[in-house]
């Protein structure tokens, strides 16, 4: 686009403003963010997921996720007829590069994005021997990389397989719900990049949050409810075959 000098000055001013907006600082410094006012979760609408893999790529870039490990990933399910107990599931490279085309056939096909469920009764924080992983007052499960011993007990305790050990830093890592973004009024990288709005951040303490409203008016499920983890990643349209 061609730019006049005046236009350019407006643009740089705008850019500076935008950048300052990004760098609003730490929760304590950011005047607008108070942890006690928020209780974060996520809605994953399975009926909208097209398996683009945008979320996986965006997360990897946003959070410097090492190759071969995943803070979020997408699974492709194929369910034959009524056989809910024997789905065929694949997730090559976590779905980072999308999925191969499948022809129309018998049975159901769908995509399931997975991530840390930021459990309210998190089994991973329960087992951490030193308090290196914890639930923040605003409901996000985080890892303190300066304190983690790398014992891997949390990775064993997570029923959803969302944790991994960083290959060179030797500490446990996982989805942070883009804490560095949501505390500044931005949404998570995966939600930002999702082309169909299948992933939406939700603030369960905000009655005016439209996603919070969605949860109250639709049938939603969580993964592995029998383990009573208090998972806060809610799925709309979750098939019974999903593990």
Residue 77, beta-bridge partner list = 89, 110
DSSP state of 89: E
Closest CB to another protein among residues 197, 213 = 197
Shortest Å distance, C-beta 51 to another protein = 6
CA distance 119 to 181: 19
Shortest Å distance, C-beta 85 to another protein = 8
Shortest Å distance, C-beta 219 to another protein = 17
Ramachandran angles phi, psi of 220, nearest 5°: -125, 155
Shortest Å distance, C-beta 49 to another protein = 8
Per the rule left: phi > 0, alpha: psi between -120 and 50, beta: everything else, 131 is: left
Closest CB to another protein among residues 11, 218 = 11
Question: In terms of Cα–Cα distance, which of 78, 2, 186, 218 is closest to 234?
Answer: 218
Closest CB to another protein among residues 89, 213 = 89
């Amino acid at each position: 686009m061609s730019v006049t000098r005046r236009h350019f000055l407006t643009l740089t001013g705008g850019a500076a403003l935008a950048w300052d907006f990004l760098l609003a600082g730490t929760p304590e410094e950011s005047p607008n963010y108070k942890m006690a006012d928020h209780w974060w979760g996520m809605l994953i609408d399975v009926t909208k997921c097209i398996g683009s893999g945008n979320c996986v790529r965006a997360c990897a870039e946003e959070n410097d996720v090492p190759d071969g490990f995943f803070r979020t990933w997408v699974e492709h399910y194929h369910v034959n007829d009524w056989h809910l107990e024997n789905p065929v599931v694949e997730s090559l490279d976590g779905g980072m590069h999308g999925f191969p085309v499948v022809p129309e056939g018998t049975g159901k096909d769908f995509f399931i994005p997975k991530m840390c469920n930021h459990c309210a009764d998190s089994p991973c924080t329960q087992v951490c021997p030193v308090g290196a992983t914890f639930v923040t007052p605003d409901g996000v499960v985080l890892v303190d990389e300066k304190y983690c011993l790398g014992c891997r007990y949390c990775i064993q305790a997570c029923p959803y397989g969302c944790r991994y050990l960083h290959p060179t830093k030797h500490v446990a890592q996982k989805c942070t719900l883009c804490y560095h973004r949501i505390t500044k009024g931005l949404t998570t990288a995966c939600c930002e990049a999702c082309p169909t709005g299948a992933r939406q951040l939700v603030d369960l303490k905000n009655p005016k949050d439209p996603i919070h409203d969605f949860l109250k008016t639709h049938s939603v499920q969580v993964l592995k409810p029998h383990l009573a983890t208090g998972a806060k990643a809610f799925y709309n349209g979750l098939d019974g075959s999903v593990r």
